[in-house]
Amino acid sequence: MSPCANGANGKPHGKSVVFPLDQSLVTDGGRNIAPLAIGYETFGELNADRSNAILLCHALTGDQYAADVHPVTGKPGWWDALVGPGKPFDTERYFIICSNVVGGCMGTTGPSSTNPSTGKPYGLDFPVVTIRDMVRAQAMLVDHLGIDTLFCVAGGSMGGMQVLQWAASYPERVFSAMPIATAAKHSAQNIGFNEVGRQAVMADPDWRAGRYLEQGVRPEKGLAVARMSAHITYLSETALQRKFGRKLQDRSAPTFSFDADFQVESYLRYQGVAFVERFDANSYLFVTRACDYFDLAADYGGSLAKAFKDTRTRFCVVSFTSDWLYPTSDSRAIVHALNAGGASVSFVEIESDKGHDAFLLHEPMFIATTRGFLESAAVARGLKARP
């Protein structure tokens, strides 16, 4: 199995851009990443005046394959429910860009990429990156594509943090923004869950202090455990109960062992195994760390409102009632800050029992909200109606 089927050997899937050495990414931690490669996908066509570009920002373990069939998993892209012809992010109307984040493992430079100063994979020598670093790299890609103003920047979870950072860092380049199921800062609970995941990876004997790629092994068990615990936080108690309850897996009575007797155990084990097929353990450490460090207000003297002062971006903030990872109160904090800055903001809390992952699923109210918001923004931007 290839290490996360990625650009570890410098061969990303699909489209990619490698920036020349003089266009390095200077990280918040004060390090240079050069050369910087960015793996990305585009869907739809850029119009003549380059005004219909939408940047989709992926969540923690997502990648550039927002739509169509994922080349590694063979499954539909992560935002298949919303991206495609006639869907809210209409590929017949908009030009959609989705890139793999810096620190990731799908063609964008990350810890599994070759460190030019050693000729070996970076491993833990890769700079600790932040959400702002991810956004800086995306801005380099958007420049490279010759796009000045993005019609919309949208994304959920970690992607939503990037949306907020985009709106704060480049207000004049973001016409509209949809931060979904996200927060302006990571809570102690979120950091706590991430730490459990990282410790699981690092406790795996095959992690080898992060140098596993050179030694031809992978900390698959640790990474799978990290995924299993994280996966629970993406769901809700109601959804888990409805889906599994205490149902047994392929048996009629408990085995009095530590086999996966319960369906929920079997499901989580499957999630863990499927995940290690497509993701790199060190990338998991870096992207979770980037989320933990995120605190947008801290960059503006502790005032989130200052981050969005005088913004002309149109915002639509969305949360889900059963999301306990990024609860509605996190979204309300964003809305209050936008209000205080006089921003044009819409906010909807969608009734759903599907937990944090609801934003990836076919939730009719969410889809209607997204469609309505984009339609009205398109009218304001002067974009032609769907052909």
Partner 1 sequence: MTLAQHPRLDHLLIADMVEPGARVLDVGCGDGALLQLLARTRNIDGRGVELSQRGVNECVAKGLSVIQGDADTDLADYPDDGFDYVILSQTLQATRHPREALRNMLRIGRRAIVSFPNFGYWRVRAQLVLRGRMPVTGNLSYSWHDTPNIHLCTIRDFVELVDNLGAHIERGFALDHAGAPIRVNAPWWVWNLLGEQAIFLLERDAPFK
Handedness of CA 324, 325, 330, 332 (dihedral sign): negative
* SS3 of residue 195 by DSSP: helix
The smaller minimum CB distance to partner 1, of residues 216 and 364, is found at 364
Of 5-13, 163-171, 261-269, 366-374, the window that binds partner 1 (rule: CB under 8 A) is 366-374
351 binds partner 1 (CB under 8 A): yes
Which residue, among 270, 267, 263, 269, has the nearest Cα to 245 in the 3D structure? Answer: 263
Candidate list 142, 180, 304, 335; residue touching partner 1; CB under 8 A: 335
Q: Does 369 bind partner 1 (CB under 8 A)?
A: yes
Residue 344: count other Cβ atoms within 10 Å of its Cβ: 14
Known active-site residue 356:
yes
Q: Which of 268, 345, 358, 360 binds partner 1 (CB under 8 A)?
A: 345
To 5 degrees, how large is the angle CA 327–CA 344–CA 158? 35
Task: Tell me the closest approach of the beta carbon of residue 342 to partner 1, in angstroms.
Answer: 6
User: Among residues 137, 316, 325, 358, which is the contact residue for partner 1, using CB under 8 A?
Assistant: 316
**Residue 380 makes contact with partner 1 by CB under 8 A:** yes
What is the spatial distance between Cα 155 and Cα 51, in angstroms, rounded to a whole number? 19
As measured in angstroms, the least distance from the Cβ of 76 to partner 1 is: 26
In whole angstroms, what is the distance from residue 363 CA to residue 369 CA? 10
* Angular region, 102: left φ>0, alpha ψ -120 to 50, beta rest: beta
Q: Which of 112, 157, 319, 331 is catalytic?
A: 157
Decide whether 240 or 340 has the Cβ nearer to partner 1.
Answer: 340
Q: Which is nearer to partner 1, 42 or 339 (CB)?
A: 339
Q: What are phi and psi of 331, to 5 degrees?
A: -70, -40
Among residues 183 and 377, whose Cβ is nearest to partner 1?
A: 377
Tell me the CA distances in angstroms from 244 to 266, 270, 271, 325, one per residue in order: 10, 14, 14, 21
Closest to 22 in 3D by CA, of 31, 33, 8, 30: 33
Pick the binder of partner 1 from 14, 340, 353, 381 (CB under 8 A).
340
Kindly state the smallest distance separating residue 374's Cβ from partner 1, in Å.
10
Per the CB < 8 A criterion, the answer to whether 296 and 28 are in contact is: no
* 202 versus 305: smaller Cβ distance to partner 1: 305
Q: Does 303 bind partner 1 (CB under 8 A)?
A: no
Question: Which active-site residues does the annotation give?
Answer: 157, 323, 356
What is the contact surface with partner 1 in residues (CB under 8 A)? 314, 316, 335-336, 339-340, 342, 344-351, 365, 368-369, 371-373, 375-377, 379-380
